[in-house]
Amino acid sequence: MSRYFEKISYEQFKKDIGDDLDLYNSIEIPRRSTKYSAGYDIKSIEDKVLKKGVAETFGTGLKVNMNDNEVLTIYSRSSFGYKYNTTLVNSVGIIDKDYYNNPDNEGHFKIRLINLGDEDLIINKGDKIAQGIFVNYLVVDNEKEIIKERNGGIGSTGK
């Protein structure tokens, strides 16, 4: 059993973000800030202005592997909502175990923030923009066996 973050391959990075080896090499693996923090801090890998009333997608260059019956939940940083009225577009992101290494994007997860505040928000490279929390989940006892497997990236299971 294993749970860890890692960078996507440089080939996937070039497809999703661009051909910038220095930027790729600067990607930081998420860490918790304090001993009892639940969330792993996810940092912006680029400078961006989040204009008021606008949503922006932030590539992370990251993927995550986890154990069976676990999910990585992604939340906006508490201070973003409290100080800047900024949040994730979908409120909570869900990264399933089988998203890891999917054939569409290797499991590259991205963060989509929306600025609901009255002023533009400047986000600098290295700023914490979200936090990921691993959660165990349960399934019903009488569930029929599911044999379908994920064969794509974001939104692929809803097709």
> Measuring CA to CA, how many Å separate 93 from each of 12, 46, 74, 141?
21, 20, 5, 26
**Other CB atoms closer than 10 Å to residue 49's CB: what's the count?**
11
> CATH no. for residue 82?
2.70.40.10
Residue 117 domain-assigned (yes or no): yes
Cα–chain center distance at 18: 18
| pTM given for the model | 0.89
Residue 159 domain-assigned (yes or no): no
Pairwise CA distance, residues 42 & 110, whole Å: 10
Structurally, the chain folds into a number of domains equal to 1
Q: What is the pLDDT of residue 147?
A: 80
Residue 155 domain-assigned (yes or no): no
Residue 59 domain-assigned (yes or no): yes
pLDDT in tens, 107-138: 999 999 999 999 999 999 999 999 999 999 99
pLDDT in tens, 35-91: 999 999 999 999 999 999 999 999 999 999 999 999 999 999 988 889 999 999 999
pLDDT at 150 > cutoff 60: no
Residue 156 domain-assigned (yes or no): no
Host domain of residue 65: 4-138
Pairwise CA distance, residues 34 & 85, whole Å: 25
The token pair at 57 is 């997608």
pLDDT at 24 > cutoff 60: yes
β 70-76/93-96 pair status: antiparallel
Query: Using 50, 70 and 90 to split pLDDT, how confident is the model at 92?
Result: very high
Residue 149 domain-assigned (yes or no): no
